[in-house]
Amino acid sequence: MADTQRNQFNTILNAIPDIMVLVDEQLRILSVNAAWGHLAREHRSEEKWFRPIELPYFEACKAIGVGDEKFAGDVEQALREIISGARDEFEIEYPCHTPAEPRYYLLRISAIPAENGRAALCAHVDITRRKLAEMELHRETRKLREQSLTDPLTNLRNRRALELIGKQYWSNAQRRGGVLAVVFFDLDKFKPINDNFGHQEGDRVLCYIADYLRKTFRESDVIARVGGDEFVVLAWMATEQDLEKIKARLNTRHSMTTATGDKYEVGMSVGYAVHDPKAEGDLLSLISRADTAMYADKKGREG
């Protein structure tokens, strides 16, 4: 490259706001632009890294904070292939955080002609703002999705979540074996609690039952509030006999006291249904069977 062409090339590089580096076949630096020097000063690097001509590319990147050992491992092979002619371009996003703040870069490498063959032009584009915005959007999306699957009063799963997660449980049980059990709960005479003590007390009862179900069942079980005073638990079991263990540990009557000292009892009608997912059927039918069994239990209690 003649001096005039080299000067023109450097002028173009210096006009680019991104960090631009020209690398030779020995992976040594032929040229850097002004943005490189600005970042080197900001990073308080040694002065030799401000314009590191003929110094190793990856060492220089590490010195000014746009690369580390992992970055070198991810990029070196592609860089050599571009310079050798085995490929024409390469692109990768990578983190390179500083003690003061997180930073993310997009590296684009392309081949350009050089005096003795080919060189690689490496563009380090700061994409920190974009990545942080994407991460925040992802967090908000997950938060909204979680809210859409959660009952706001009890923080249990809601009906939609029960159906979505339940389908996964069904598929897993088909592969792993075992059986699925649905336990359907409905509070007895819940309306008089609201009528006599107010809806705030009714909400307290629902939260109490939700906590009781969390303590009673396993973390792997799906516990959902599916209606005003209706709860459903979906549990995978090794055998149908494990259902007896569930029944044995359930307490269907709970003594409650209001803030003013009034005492009352909360009862639960319970229905059970068990199904081998390898047999014909589906989750909604299983829930419906447990619902029917619960109403039979309620009728027996009232009768």
Which one of 71, 103, 131 terminates a domain? 131
β-pair type (89-95, 253-257): unpaired
pLDDT at 166 over 70: yes
- Average pLDDT of 180-186? 94
User: Do 77 and 174 reside in the same domain of the chain?
Assistant: no
- Phi/psi for 188 (5° steps) reads -85, 135
**Confidence class for position 215, pLDDT limits 50, 70, 90:** very high
For residues 287 and 279, give the distance between their C-alpha atoms in angstroms, rounded to a whole number: 16
User: Do 120 and 192 reside in the same domain of the chain?
Assistant: no
Write down the pLDDT at residue 121. Answer: 94
Q: Which of 7-11, 83-87, 201-205 is least confident? A: 7-11
Residue 218 in any domain: the answer is: yes
The sheet with strand 263-275 has its strands ordered as 222-225, 230-237, 179-188, 263-275, 253-257
User: Do 162 and 125 reside in the same domain of the chain?
Assistant: no
Residue 138 in any domain: the answer is: no
Whole-number average pLDDT of the chain: 89
177: left (phi over 0), alpha (psi -120 to 50) or beta: left
- Average pLDDT of 101-112? 91
Q: In Å, how far from its chain's centre is CA 282?
A: 28
pLDDT at 4 over 70: no
155: left (phi over 0), alpha (psi -120 to 50) or beta: left
Write down the pLDDT at residue 296. Answer: 94
Say what percent of the chain tops pLDDT 90.
56
pLDDT at 250 over 70: yes
CA-to-CA separations, 66 to 122, 126, 158, in angstroms, rounded: 12, 9, 46
Model-wide pTM > 0.85: no
Write down the pLDDT at residue 209. Answer: 96
Q: In Å, how far from its chain's centre is CA 259?
A: 40
The amino acid at 115: E
The CATH number of the domain holding residue 61 is: 3.30.450.20
Residue 172 in any domain: the answer is: yes
- Average pLDDT of 264-286? 87
The CATH number of the domain holding residue 189 is: 3.30.70.270
- What is the chain's length? 303
| Residues identified as active-site | 229
* Inter-residue contact 181 to 286 (CB < 8 Å): no
Strand ranges inside the chain, DSSP E: 19-23, 29-32, 89-95, 104-114, 117-126, 179-188, 222-225, 230-237, 253-257, 263-275
- Average pLDDT of 4-26? 84
222 Cβ contact partners less than 8 Å away, ≥ 6 residues apart: 157, 161, 162, 165, 166, 169, 233, 234, 235
Which one of 103, 131, 159 terminates a domain? 131
User: Do 199 and 274 reside in the same domain of the chain?
Assistant: yes
User: Do 249 and 178 reside in the same domain of the chain?
Assistant: yes
pLDDT at 174 over 90: no
User: Do 218 and 125 reside in the same domain of the chain?
Assistant: no
Residues of the domain holding 51: 3-131
- Average pLDDT of 258-271? 93
pLDDT at 5 over 70: no
Write down the pLDDT at residue 146. Answer: 79
User: Do 58 and 163 reside in the same domain of the chain?
Assistant: no
Write down the pLDDT at residue 257. Answer: 93
pLDDT at 140 over 90: no
pLDDT at 265 over 60: yes
User: Do 122 and 195 reside in the same domain of the chain?
Assistant: no
3-class DSSP state of 292: helix
pLDDT at 7 over 90: no
Residue 144 in any domain: the answer is: no
Residue 141 in any domain: the answer is: no
Which one of 98, 131, 164 terminates a domain? 131
Total of domains in the chain: 2
pLDDT at 98 over 80: no
- Average pLDDT of 80-99? 89
For residues 177 and 290, give the distance between their C-alpha atoms in angstroms, rounded to a whole number: 21
